[in-house]
Structure 1
């Protein structure tokens, strides 16, 4: 089989890129396409080394490495320029435009969707508000462009034979946006890299990029109002000054930390706190792999990665229902009032459901099944 893998951009290695890494492990002969790829990222990324990543005209535009996102209005055109006619199977890894590649009736297109374009669909108003684009000429231009992208995004869904969602939450979003069903295959989490530890210390941990939608400010605000409880914050980003301004003495802001330090803190924390509405959310699974329970906002992927149950043989954490400091504070109080501590062993066992090997087995089996079905339609008289 001739296989092409299409991804939006390689500028950093995060969750969606780790999915591509495992797909390439399954299909090492595949060719890789991307709207844009930072040459340095490609050189320094093990699974891309020695590969030719075929990019679009976006990579040739001025300041593409730093300002590639500003070329979003051109990306639908860019992804349609890839000539994939020589391939039997096209696998797109999509959170923006990758699923819009052009394929023919004799080609199987499977799209692994991390999310439909968030800032063009249900999160448009939040995006415009956080970008200061609610009003004025720039605001109207942004709204018009997003309107055009929605039309294109919906139309190109017809070119996908099978959608794979990274969570049931994203599956519902796919159905809402495209009117299509999808199959759920959870993304790979490197559970093996996070060693189990059942000896905990008296502090809570949160770790993330410090950007608005992660709601790290909410977590810091909540713990500032609980001075008897210690919070450690790992991560850096544009919201750091804001957190520094509201942090109390019981809140320690460590900034960026190397992996070994992040893991050590995850292993020893009494609980990991997570306040974002994520499509899946890898970090809470990593914490559970360390044997650490999670207190998470009960919406999005957290409803699938964290188990809030009265059964001690199933529980791996607690959900709080609202993105408010008060709701989180109540969840922390409930966590500390549990009749028995959440089992570190149960947390670890649950995390292993999301392992790399599980993803490989499920995705390889899925592609094989869909390819056999597709071939049967080609040979049917």
Structure 2
């Protein structure tokens, strides 16, 4: 079986890139095709992989250039990649990997982290939608064109894998796949994190500093609580603005190595997760450190966390219902009256180990090769749900 892996671009560190690293461990001989690659901006483990880039490598080596030149250059560059002689092409994508060309008999599996956001959810770009009416109309017209191109490219995918229950529904609505969508939750690298003997007196945010991440909401809450400390780890387009907004009880960090990040997680009172994500890896990293999460209760967090209802010792998170200062402020105050069990949280997150993810991906790829049909009947029940479902079923 000859396998190729395709990922949009390797110029950042994030959950999608961690999924690709796990795919690489599942199929270590498979080359990784990608738009562009910058070894200094993504995970160092990629240096041991066979990475093949498109001509876009010459003009774009960071995420800002990928966004700026996405249409039409990134799409054209990915379209220029022609994969020949592979039995299976395994895509990891949020935007352009699906535009590659493959042989007619190749089985294409798309681990789609989300449908292309600018195409299918243009209204979520609040900073663009709030501009003048002419800009907004042009932006929406461009989004409609991208939606058409994205849907056309999606037709080459034979099988979709989603990262969560909510994303399964989103893929079905956007692409109308011809086979049932399978859920395989992304993993967390448990070996990178540990439970500390004692925690310190600060709350934690680990996030890219972008508008939709809602870090400004957390800052506003902690600005009004000067006796409580907040540590924010990350960088992004809002970095200068957010630093200017924050008061003295809020500290910004970036450039942490793996050991420093693990310590920062392990010693935090809790991770605050104010955004709605399609999945979200940072809550799992916090859980791997035995630390609970204060989270906005929508999106992928529903697949990964056990929300507090009446027994905090058997919970991993406290949810708040709306993205408002009042709701988050109330959640932080409520959290301080609860007692979460670090050992229970760490034990629970074992369900999301990388070894489990690797085995599921390997099994899925082996099963969808020609000779395993009829697939539609087999995969109508081939789904993987949150371990929380199993816990509820046993209770």
Structure 1 length-normalised TM: 0.88
User: What are the equivalent positions in structure 2 for 1:141-152 lying under 5 Å apart?
Assistant: 141-152=138-149
Provide the rounded CA distance (Å) in 2 between the counterparts of 1:98 and 1:255: 29
What residue in structure 2 maps to residue 24 of structure 1?
24
Provide the rounded CA distance (Å) in 2 between the counterparts of 1:20 and 1:164: 13
Provide the rounded CA distance (Å) in 1 between the counterparts of 2:331 and 2:22: 36
> Residues 50 and 225 of structure 1: is their aligned pair in 2 closer, same or farther, counting only changes over 3 Å?
closer
What residue in structure 2 maps to residue 347 of structure 1?
345
Deviation at 1:320, TM superposition (A): 0.7
Provide the rounded CA distance (Å) in 1 between the counterparts of 2:326 and 2:371: 52
Deviation at 1:301, TM superposition (A): 1.3
Matched, 1:183 2:182: yes
What residue in structure 1 maps to residue 68 of structure 2?
70
Classify the secondary structure of the residue corresponding to 1:241: helix
What residue in structure 2 maps to residue 327 of structure 1?
327
> Residues 259 and 139 of structure 1: is their aligned pair in 2 closer, same or farther, counting only changes over 3 Å?
same
Range moving further from structure 2, 307-316 or 268-277 = 307-316
What residue in structure 2 maps to residue 369 of structure 1?
367
> RMSD in angstroms over aligned alpha carbons?
2.5
> Residues 26 and 327 of structure 1: is their aligned pair in 2 closer, same or farther, counting only changes over 3 Å?
same
Classify the secondary structure of the residue corresponding to 1:9: coil
What residue in structure 2 maps to residue 200 of structure 1?
199
Give CA-to-partner distance per residue, 1:306-342, whole Å, 9 cap, x none. Answer: 211334453111111111111101111221233xx11
Give CA-to-partner distance per residue, 1:236-256, whole Å, 9 cap, x none. Answer: 333233333332343333455
> Residues 232 and 168 of structure 1: is their aligned pair in 2 closer, same or farther, counting only changes over 3 Å?
same
Provide the rounded CA distance (Å) in 2 between the counterparts of 1:283 and 1:64: 25
Deviation at 1:298, TM superposition (A): 0.8
Deviation at 1:345, TM superposition (A): 1.0
What residue in structure 1 maps to residue 314 of structure 2?
314
> Residues 376 and 182 of structure 1: is their aligned pair in 2 closer, same or farther, counting only changes over 3 Å?
closer
User: 5+ residue gaps in structure 1?
Assistant: none
What residue in structure 1 maps to residue 385 of structure 2?
none
Give CA-to-partner distance per residue, 1:16-66, whole Å, 9 cap, x none. Answer: 122112212221221221122337668x83334462x33333334x45656
Structure 2 length-normalised TM: 0.85
Deviation at 1:258, TM superposition (A): 3.6
What residue in structure 1 maps to residue 152 of structure 2?
155
Provide the rounded CA distance (Å) in 1 between the counterparts of 2:263 and 2:353: 20
Matched, 1:164 2:161: yes
User: 5+ residue gaps in structure 2?
Assistant: 376-395
**Residues paired across the two proteins, number:** 370
What residue in structure 1 maps to residue 4 of structure 2?
4
* 8 Å contact kept, 2:123–2:129: no
Provide the rounded CA distance (Å) in 2 between the counterparts of 1:137 and 1:348: 51
* 8 Å contact kept, 2:288–2:346: yes
